[in-house]
Amino acid sequence: MMLNVLSAGFAYPPHTISNDLILGLQGRHAHSGTLEKSAPRNRYSVLDPNYLERTANRDLWEARKFLSMTNSELGAAAARMALTRAGIEIDQVGLLLGDTISPFETCPAEATRIGQLLNLKAPAYDLTGLFLAPALFLQSLAARKQDRLPDYILCVSTNTPTHYIRFDQGDPAYYFGDGAGAVVLSPRHAGPLVVTRASSSANSTASETVIQGIYEHLSFDAPARHSSFEEELLMLFDESQQASNRVSPLTVDPSLRERHLSDTFFIQSHFNHSEGTILHRTRSLPQERMLSTVKESGVAFGATPFAALALHWERIIQSAGVNLLVTGGGSQQGVVVLTAQEI
């Protein structure tokens, strides 16, 4: 079934947390290797930096009193941008899929909360995928019969992990940021991009490097994550190339490979902003073809790829397309291939 991507939207909270603030809380020499190798230079947060300086966010319940906006409000803002870009109204949407790892409560679903803010009068439910949300959304929808889907579908991933992080200790303070991303899809109306492939997998036996309890501080094992990062990235890159039915990155004709790679964008948006260097070194991918939001906004789990898609929307739809390479947690991988089309 053909699934078209009509538009994408993003939203970030008003506050930012600098590396200097975190270093001030953890000690000037703490995790200097982390900062040099892969940590973002900045990250967005729903928490006021003045509050963090006073408390380091040691008390999760107290933090809720100082949020600039809720998880749902952030998601609704990204959804409104996507709807505006698509040129449709909320009453035209027939289904809303939501995702979050940072809900205030587990019931009602995040999609329901966002739908209430948007005044949606259609079914809304969560399809939570941690890092896999974009691939999981598209894979699930593409597997359905076209006549079972409405004309317009809204998918939103919104995450505010910073209000689950204790900023005076550990790696999570460096890596994660808050954000939301949304896309408008249609099985009947053409859009600038069409879903060529969407696949995801999760290995329940693999050790998790990210642990998020709804009433606990977020835990993240950075060394374990980096040990598997390059292998996962290259595997997903090769899979995306094969799935696009174009030139394989392993082709013996360098001119064909160069021409193909110079016309396709790639989004790999978890934990490491050196992916462009890795793919340039190992697969001859021009570094300017790798798009990411991690360096300046932090990792917002499933929201990050959608936000990057939205931020670079105009460049992407004027190219051959974009491949989303989803890695995360040491146990999840996903590939989304979006091909540009004329409308």
pLDDT digits (tens, 9 = 90+) for 313-334: 999 999 888 888 777 655 677 8
pLDDT at 256: 46
> Across residues 142-167, what is the average pLDDT?
93
Question: What is the topology classification, in CATH, of domain 4-186?
Answer: Peroxisomal Thiolase; Chain A, domain 1 (3.40.47)
As a whole number of angstroms, the distance between CA 15 and CA 152 comes to 33
How far apart are alpha carbons 1 and 303 in whole angstroms? 25
d(CA 54, CA 57): 8
Higher per-residue confidence, 234 vs 49: 49
The fold of the 193-340 domain, in CATH, is Peroxisomal Thiolase; Chain A, domain 1 (3.40.47)
The tokens describing 197, both together, are 């492939």
35 pLDDT band, cuts 50/70/90, is low
- Please name which of 185, 196, 153, 178 lies closest in space to residue 324, comparing C-alpha atoms: 196
CATH topology agreement for domains 4-186 and 193-340: yes
CA atoms within a 13 Å half-sphere pointing along the CA-CB vector of 119: 4
Q: 234-290: per-residue pLDDT in tens?
A: 777 777 777 665 434 444 345 545 555 567 888 875 655 566 677 777 777 777 788
Query: Domain extents for the chain?
Result: 4-186, 193-340
Mean pLDDT of the chain: 82
How much of the chain, in percent, has pLDDT values that exceed 70? Answer: 79
- The pair of structure tokens assigned to 289 is 């073809």
Please give the single-letter amino acid code of residue 62: E
Sign of the CA dihedral with 258 first, then 260, 264, and 265 last: negative
Res. 4 pLDDT band, cuts 50 70 90: very high
pLDDT for res 247 = 37
Residue 310 has pLDDT above 70, yes or no: yes
Pairing of the two strands 321-328 and 332-340: antiparallel
Structure tokens at 146: 């076209």
Three-state DSSP class for 327? Answer: strand
Nearest to 193 by CA among 325, 337, 4, 336: 4
Work out the number of other CB atoms within 10 angstroms of the CB of residue 107.
6
Q: What is the pLDDT of residue 24?
A: 87
Rounded to an integer, the average pLDDT of 9-38 is 78
Kindly state the average pLDDT of the residues 166-174. 86
- Alpha carbon dihedral 280, 285, 289, 292, in 10-degree steps, equals -50
Element (H, E) at 280: helix 275-283
Is the model's pLDDT at 31 over the cut of 60?
A: no
**Amino acid making up residue 302:** G
3-state SS, one letter per residue, for 61-101: HHHHHHECCCHHHHHHHHHHHHHHHHCCCHHHCCEEEEECC
User: What pLDDT score was predicted for residue 248?
Assistant: 40
